[in-house]
Chains A and B, each alone.
Chain A
Amino acid sequence: GAVVSQHPSRVICKSGTSVKIECRSLDFQATTMFWYRQFPKQSLMLMATSNEGSKATYEQGVEKDKFLINHASLTLSTLTVTSAHPEDSSFYICSATELGYEQYFGPGTRLTVT
């Protein structure tokens, strides 16, 4: 149980384009989903918290107009990186929780902006 999927696993896009990443909880309803970013050999940095049907809460320093988060249902959240630049290249990971502190993570998405 507690499986979270992410799609795509890898994406390469040109600078200035937008990329959408999907996060799905496959066998449970996620009351809350989280989006993280990880740089090489660094910790996971929380970008935003999203609850189904409400606006995401962004961490300090994260541009909400650049990283659009939509949590349309209890099993799906999307992160759209708008007008991507090379510095947005990173490993993006989502997680989901049903009730409680245990977060279950997706496999991650490697974004490369050329």
Chain B
Amino acid sequence: DQQVKQNSPSLSVQEGRISILNCDYTNSMFDYFLWYKKYPAEGPTFLISISSIKDKNEDGRFTVFLNKSAKHLSLHIVPSQPGDSAVYFCAASGGSNYKLTFGKGTLLTVNP
């Protein structure tokens, strides 16, 4: 049973527009959420995170929104740039062991 779901395997947007990547989770024990960006044959790069005590966290062009009641989070990238094209993974954690549970990823393509 997948505890972290990214239902859109791919997303295509125009340069300059907003990219919205979505993630749903089922485990109520998750209290920390992270987004990672990954290029092929490379390790993931940490982008931004959010604790369950917040509903929004912003860092430059990246904003993560958390809706605890819906068990849903989203990553907004604005404005989108061609260099943002990559696979984006949503990850969740809960408890003291710091283990992360990853979604399957969404391939974002930003077209010039």
Q: Please report A residues at the B interface, Cβ cutoff 8 Å.
A: 2, 4, 6, 32, 34, 42-44, 46, 49, 91, 93, 95, 97, 100-108, 110
Contact = CB atoms under 8 A, between A and B. Distances in A.
B21 to A, nearest CB: 14
Interface of B: 32, 34, 36, 41-46, 49, 89, 93, 97-105
5 pairs of A and B residues whose beta carbons are closest in the complex = A105-B43, A43-B104, A101-B32, A43-B102, A105-B44
A22 to B, nearest CB: 14
B10 to A, nearest CB: 11
- For B43, B46, B49, B97, which residue has the most chain A Cβ atoms within 10 angstroms? B43
A112 to B, nearest CB: 13
Contacts of B100: 34, 46, 101, 103
A43 B105 contact: yes
Given A43-B105, A101-B49, A110 B97 contact: no
Given A6-B43, A32-B98, 16 more contacts: A2-B46, A34-B100, A43-B89, A44-B44, A49-B97, A91-B41, A93-B44, A97-B98, A101-B100, A102-B34, A103-B46, A103-B98, A105-B43, A107-B43, A108-B41, A108-B43
